[in-house]
Each structure stands twice: as structure tokens, then as C-alpha cells.
Amino acid sequence: MARDTVYKARDPDAPFRFNAEVAAVFPDMLRRSIPGYEASLEAIGSLAARYVQPGTRCYDLGCSLGAASLAMRQGISSEDCRIVAVDNAPAMIERCRGIVREECLRQPAGAPIELVEGDILDTEIANASMVVLNYTLQFLPPTDRDTMIGRIAAGLNDGGPLVLSEKVVDPDPAMEALLVDLHHEHKRRNDYSALEISRKRAALENVLIPETVEQHRDRLLRAGFRSAAVWLRYFNFVSIVAIR
């Protein structure tokens, strides 16, 4: 696993981009930056085993290097299923293609994964028994988020789950400050320097725009999901399961 040193010498004024530099170190970046990330993948596999139905599609929207797609693939036991993995970053799709190829060679028995380079807002979602947005919605403009969730709800079969993992903001300013500080401490324990932490935070400003848990829950219920609940929270990172 290549070590993430992207922000040791990067231009502090450059916005965050899912380019080749980031793609090369992305697994290490996730492991050291997002507390609870591995647990979210375990839950995706468990939900796939429980909910995915024969003859349906699963969607990994904003798939990056395909970790959620592979987690679904490992959990799926139903036949005649297909996983559609979509990302708009060419560098991510290119590297993801190699990772998926290796995994499918290692374990040929499993649902095929179709990789699509494109905008998730333009992706047709149909006959879906499971959809994953794993730290993806936060990168969409807020004005597009209702549309995205509405399209997912319309394309999910009755009883299908959406896994929505996001960085969130707390409505209480004092609690938000504490959660941010705890997250930065988590990064320091994972050997990120104060300079790296500061530069990455600046790069993500106006690129990753977090919302509150309540905003996410309200949007899901308005879109037609029967229920939605936080199943995992670690500092200011949450994973929500919503049932159509």
C-alpha cells in the first residue's frame, strides 16, 4: 500500500482533486483519515448478503477504487446479479479496473462488476436491490443532492437498502469544534503532520460540503425511504442505512 504524502509538499491553494496522485495512495489515505471506514465496508457486505435479490443490480456510486463494490460482491449469494460501479474520475476508474480484475481472477465465482466512467447524476438506476454512496454525496453541490437521492429512491426495489456514509457537521458549534479536534488527533496518531492536516483541510474547503445528520435523514424520508437510521458514528463520520 503506497504511503499518502500528497499534502507534504502540495500547493496549499490547490483544491482537492481525485487525480492520479490521489488514486495512487487512496487506500492509505482512507485508512489513516476516516475512522470507522473498514467497519462501513463490513456492513456493506453484510447488507448485501441480506438484501440483494436474484436478477437485480447493485450500484456503487462514486466507487473510487471499488472497495464498496468488492464488499458487496463478497456478500452477495444470489444469482444473476450485477454490480454497477460509477465514478467520474478517470484516474480512479483506471486503477479500479486493475483492482477489480485481480479480485475477479482470484475469486471468479461472484457477481460481475461493470465499471462506468461518468457522472452519477446521469446514471440510470433501475431494478436495484442495493445502492451505496460511500462518502460520495458530500462532494456533490448541495443543490444536486435532493435529485440524487430521489433518483436512487425511484430506482430501488421495494425493501432495498441505501448505504449513505458521510462526513457530517454538528449543529452545536462547541460539539462540532470538539469532533473536529478529535478527528485531527486521530490523523496525528496516524502520522499526519499538522501541516498536512491543515493543507488537506484547506484543499477540501468548498469541495467537500458536509451537512447535519438530520438534514440527511429528512432528505431520505422526503425521497420516499420508509426508514433511515445511523448505524455507525465515529467522531464526525457517520454511516446511515435507509430502507426503501
DSSP assignments along 148-192, one per residue: HHHHHHHHBPTT-EEEEEEEB--SSHHHHHHHHHHHHHHHHHTT-
Mean pLDDT score of the chain = 93
Distance between CA atoms of 95 and 231, rounded to whole angstroms? 30
Q: Over the stretch 140-195, which tens digit does the pLDDT of each residue have?
A: 999 999 999 999 999 999 999 999 999 999 999 999 999 999 999 999 999 999 88
| pLDDT exceeds cutoff 70 at 12 | no
Q: Which helix (H) or strand (E) holds 231?
A: strand 227-234
Residue that the C-alpha cell 456514509 belongs to: 165
**Nearest alpha-carbon partner for 166 in 192, 145, 197:** 145
Q: What is the pLDDT of residue 206?
A: 78
Q: What is the pLDDT of residue 8?
A: 80
Instruction: Compute the average pLDDT of residues 3-8.
Output: 82
For residue 202, name the pLDDT band (cuts at 50, 70, 90): confident
**61: pLDDT strictly greater than 90:** yes
Distances (CA, A) of 12 to 7, 90, 197: 8, 23, 11
- pLDDT tier for residue 237 given thresholds of 50, 70 and 90: very high
Contact yes or no for 48/130 (Cβ under 8 A): yes
| DSSP bridge partners of 113 | 83
* Those residues with Cβ within 8 angstroms of residue 236's Cβ, 6 or more apart along the chain or in another chain: 167, 168, 169, 170, 176, 179, 180, 183, 210
SS3 call for 68:
helix
Kindly report the backbone phi and psi dihedral angles of residue 142, in degrees, each rounded to the nearest multiple of 5, phi listed first.
-55, -30
Dist. CA 224–CA 69, nearest whole Å? 25
Residue 243 main-chain phi, psi, to 5 deg:
-110, 130
- State the cell numbers at 148: 440524487
More confident position, 66 or 203: 66
pLDDT digits (tens, 9 = 90+) for 68-97: 999 999 999 999 999 999 999 999 999 999
Distance CA 205, CA 225 (A): 30
Using pLDDT thresholds of 50, 70 and 90, give the confidence band for residue 14: confident
Nearest-angstrom CA–CA distance, 90 and 79: 30
pLDDT of residue 62: 97
* Distance (Å, whole) CA 162 – CA 159: 10
Residue 227 has pLDDT above 70, yes or no: yes
Predicted local distance difference test score (pLDDT) of residue 204 = 82
Enumerate domains of the chain plus CATH numbers.
37-169+207-243 (3.40.50.150)
